[in-house]
Amino acid sequence: MSTGELTGRRAVVTGGGRGIGEAVARALARAGASVVVAARTAAEIDAVVEKLSALGHQAWAIPCDVVDPDSVDELVAAAEERWGEGGADILVNNAGAAWSSPVLRTELEDWNRMLAVNATGTFLCTRAFLPGMMERGWGRVVNIASVAGLSGARYISAYAASKHAVIGFTRCVAAEVADKGVTVNAVCPGYVDTPMTDESLRRISEKTGLSEKEALELILARTPQGRLIEPAEVAHAVLSLCGAAARGINGQSIVIDGGELLC
Ligand code: NDP
C-alpha cells in the first residue's frame, strides 16, 4: 500500500501502548490515517502518541479498559470529540492478554479474564464503532486473534477458547455487514516478539526451571522459520486489510506464522 492511502481515515487501535498495537498504530499513521491509541496504561499510550506526533502524524491517546462497557462508551465519546459524530472508519481490536495452565489448574477467574479481555472486549468495541461505519457505508474492523484461534495446544485452553470466540465473532459480524461497505477480518499470528511473549517466557521459565533463553529455544524449535514474528509483519497484514483494494476480503482469518499451522 502506498503511503497516504488512508489519508482522511480515522482509526482506533486498542492495546496500542506497546507490542503489536504500537506497530499497527505506526503503520496506520504512516499510511495517512489519524489514529486514536487506546489502552489502560496512560504512560504507554502517551509515549506512543508522542512518537507519532513527532513524526508529523495525527494521533491521540485515550485511556480505555475494553472489558468495561462504560469505558468503551467514553472511548467512543472522546473519539467523536476529536473527529465528529460517527467515530472511526477503522477499528483494530488488538487489546489482549495471554494465560497458560493445564485445564485442571485453570481457575474460573483465569478463564473469565481471558474471555473478558480477548472476546468480550472485541465484541464491546466492535458494537460501539460499527454503527458509524455502517451509516457512512465504509469501514474496516480487524481483530487480532491468534493461531490459537484456529488450533488447539496443551495448556492454553482459556486463551485458545477466547481466540476461537474472536474468530467465530469475526465470521458472523462479517456476514451481517457484508452489504454495508464494511469488512471484518481476523489476523492470526504465531509467537510475536512483544512484551506478551517476554512475559510468557518468564512464566515458562518459572514453572519449568528452564532459563528464558532455553524456553525461547523450545518455542522456536516448533516454528518452521525458527524465529519469532515481528510486530511490523502483523501491522503489514492489518494495513493491507484496510486499503480500498481489500474490500472483497471479508470474514477471513489471515495466518502469519511462517507456516507453523501447515507443518
Ligand atoms: P502486549 O502484552 O505486548 O500488549 C497488549 C496491549 O493490550 C497493551 O497495550 C495492553 O495495555 C493492552 N490491554 C490489555 N488488556 C487491556 C484492556 N483490558 N483494555 C485495554 N487495553 C488492554 O501484547 P501483544 O502486543 O503481544 O499482543 C497484542 C494482541 O495480539 C493480543 O490480542 C494477543 O492475544 C495477540 N497475539 C499475540 C501474540 C504474541 O505472540 N505476542 C501471538 C498471537 C496473537 P494495558 O495493559 O496498558 O491496558
- Whether this prediction's pTM lies above 0.95 is answered by yes
Q: Whose CA is nearest to atom 19 of ligand 1?
A: 65
Per-residue pLDDT of 122-157, as tens digits, reads 999 999 999 999 999 999 999 999 999 999 999 999
From 196, 223, 227, 257, the mutation candidate for ligand 1 (largest count of ligand atoms within 8 A of CB) is 196
Does residue 7 register a pLDDT over 70? yes
Task: Report CA Rg, the chain.
Answer: 18
The alpha carbon of residue 57 and the mean position of all alpha carbons in its chain are separated, in whole angstroms, by 21
Ligand 1 binding pocket includes 149 (Cβ within 6 Å): no
Q: Is the dihedral of CA 13, 94, 187, 77 positive or negative?
A: negative
pLDDT at 247: 97
Q: What are phi and psi of 138, to 5 degrees?
A: -155, 130
Ligand 1 near 257 CB (within 6 A):
no
- pLDDT digits 0-9 by tens, 179-223: 999 999 999 999 999 999 999 999 999 999 999 999 999 999 999
What helix, strand, coil percent values describe the chain, rounded to 5?
Answer: 50, 15, 30
Average pLDDT, integer, range 81-107: 94
User: Quick one: pLDDT at residue 84?
Assistant: 83
Residue 86 has pLDDT above 90, yes or no: no
pLDDT, tens digit, 9 for 90 and up, residues 15-66: 999 999 999 999 999 999 999 999 999 999 999 999 999 999 999 999 999 9
Other residues' Cβ atoms within 10 Å of the Cβ of residue 41: 11
Question: What are the boundaries of each domain within the chain?
Answer: 10-190+232-252, 194-228
pLDDT at 2: 41
Residue 263 confidence class, pLDDT cut points 50, 70, 90: low
Mean pLDDT of the chain: 96
From atom 17 of ligand 1, which residue's Cα is the shortest distance away?
65
C-alpha cell of residue 34: 489519524
Enumerate residues 6+ apart whose C-beta is below 8 A from 56.
none
Per-residue pLDDT tens over the stretch 149-165: 999 999 999 999 999 99
229 CA from centroid of ligand 1 (Å) = 15
For residues 39 and 95, what is the distance between their CA atoms, to the nearest angstrom?
7
- What is the CATH T-level fold of the domain 10-190+232-252, as seen in this structure? Rossmann fold (3.40.50)
H-run or E-run covering 44: helix 42-54
**Number of Cβ atoms within 10 Å of the Cβ of 185:** 23
Q: Are 103 and 159 in contact (CB under 8 A)?
A: no
Does residue 3 surpass a pLDDT of 70?
no
Greater confidence (166 vs 86) lies with 166
User: So which residues are the catalytic ones?
Assistant: 159
Verify whether ligand 1 is closer than 6 Å to residue 26 (CB atom).
no
Give the mutation target among 13, 91, 94, 124 for probing the ligand 1 site: most ligand atoms within 8 A of CB. 94
Which residues neighbour 212 within 8 Å (Cβ) at sequence distance 6 or greater?
A: 201, 202, 204, 205
- Residue 77: pLDDT above 60? yes
> In the structure grid, which three cell numbers stand for residue 135, read together?
451509516
Q: What is the pLDDT of residue 18?
A: 98
Collapsing DSSP to helix, strand or coil, 201 comes out as: helix
